[in-house]
Amino acid sequence: MKDFIAIGDCTADELRELLHLSVQGKQIDKLGGRDKSLPGKTLAMIFEKASLRTRMSFQIAMTDLGGHAVYLKPEDVGIIGDREPAKDMARVLARYVHGIMARTYKHETLIELAKYADVPVINALSDWSHPCQAMADILTMYEHCGDLEGRKIAYIGDGNNVARSLAFACAKFKIKIAIASPRGYELDQRSLDMCNDLMPETAVQLNDGFEAAKDADIIYTDTWVSMGQENEKAERVDDFKKGNFQVNSELLSYAPPRAKVMHCLPAYRGMEITDEVAESDRSVIFDQAENRLHFQRALLKKLLFQNPKAKRR
């Protein structure tokens, strides 16, 4: 594993190892231990968009591991390509740091960074995918459901970056996922096909949230308006409000009582989720947020520790 750009690029064994490292690291953390595997290592964190969880968890993970992170905010980098091309930024940063983490508008920017940087590159969210989120979600699901194989996630909402990475993670961990979206907001057919090629009968696309919720172990949702789609907000909210796409107590009544509620956050109460459900004891949204840190630590250790691509200095 040289970079972490997409779940589909990793083998099931690599992802299982990352899950195992996350569980192990979390146990050590809870006992007050510290794994200082990355002394003297520096991570550059490029953000074209806002962030709370991703920025904080990566920064703290690097500090915990004995290393250091440098934050480049949207005003510093602008839209990559406007000030300088991604391929130049990649080669400059690789002369300074041991790893690059980037949150970009275009997924192609990440691919370009990874192609030209001879240090590991991590996808911290693009318009196409959010693999670090999906792995923190798998960790959370493992903690709440135990064995993952054969479980079912009902993803209610936009067939977006979060839905796509989750679907690929489901294929890798043999979990089933029913995605319910309004017409026009479904996950693209190619991604669905790729997930089902990886593991037959992993992913199904529906247009009814109630139907998706049946037999689900997890009810998952995300914002109806992702970063970069702000000018489509009125139309999107209108389209999502027309069907059964809000995670509320009525939708939960279609799911088994054991089903937990997940959301990658930030959550827009009254839109994709009600405040009542987000605050209920079915909700594990803050466990997910915490697990971003435990997964990030495991990922950084795996990518930057003894990785020839991370040995610039």
Per-residue x/- track, 130-169, ligand CP (CB under 6 A):
---x------------------------------------
Establish whether 264 is a catalytic residue. yes
Q: Which residues pair with 155 in a beta bridge?
A: 179, 220
- Cβ at position 213, least distance to ligand CP in Å: 22
- Cβ at position 122, least distance to ligand CP in Å: 13
Residue closest to ligand NVA, measured at CB: 226
| Residue 223 binding target from ligand NVA, ligand CP, none, CB below 5 to 8 Å by type | ligand NVA
DSSP string, the chain: ---BS-GGGS-HHHHHHHHHHHHHHHHHHHTT------TT-EEEEEESS--SHHHHHHHHHHHHTT-EEEEE-HHHH-STTTSS-HHHHHHHHHHH-SEEEEE-SSHHHHHHHHHH-SS-EEES--SS--HHHHHHHHHHHHHHHS--TT-EEEEES--SHHHHHHHHHHHHHT-EEEEE--TT-SPPHHHHHHHHHHSTT-EEEES-HHHHHTT-SEEEE--SS-TT-GGGHHHHHHHHHTTT-SBSHHHHTTS-TT-EEEE-S---BTTTB-HHHHTSTTB-HHHHHHHHHHHHHHHHHHHHTT-GGG---
- Cβ at position 125, least distance to ligand CP in Å: 6
Q: Is 129 among the residues that bind ligand CP (CB under 6 A)? A: no
Interface with ligand CP (CB under 6 A), residue from 208, 265, 268, 312: 265
**Candidates 20-28, 46-54, 80-88, 268-276 — which segment interacts with ligand CP by CB under 6 A?**
46-54
Of the pair 43, 198, the CB lying nearest ligand CP is at 43
Interface with ligand NVA (CB under 6 A), residue from 57, 123, 205, 226: 226
| Residue 181 binding target from ligand CP, ligand NVA, none, CB below 5 to 8 Å by type | none
Interface with ligand NVA (CB under 6 A), residue from 221, 223, 248, 288: 223
Q: Is 110 among the residues that bind ligand NVA (CB under 6 A)? A: no
Query: Among residues 130, 164, 236, 294, which one is catalytic?
Result: 130
Q: What are phi and psi of 41, to 5 degrees?
A: -90, 145
User: From the CB of residue 116, how many other CB atoms can be counted at a distance below 10 Å?
Assistant: 18
Q: Is 237 among the residues that bind ligand NVA (CB under 6 A)? A: no
Of the pair 74, 85, the CB lying nearest ligand NVA is at 74
Binding site as annotated, residues for L-ornithine: 161, 222, 226-227
Binding site as annotated, residues for carbamoyl phosphate: 103, 130-133, 264-265, 292
Residues designated catalytic:
103, 130, 133, 222, 264, 292
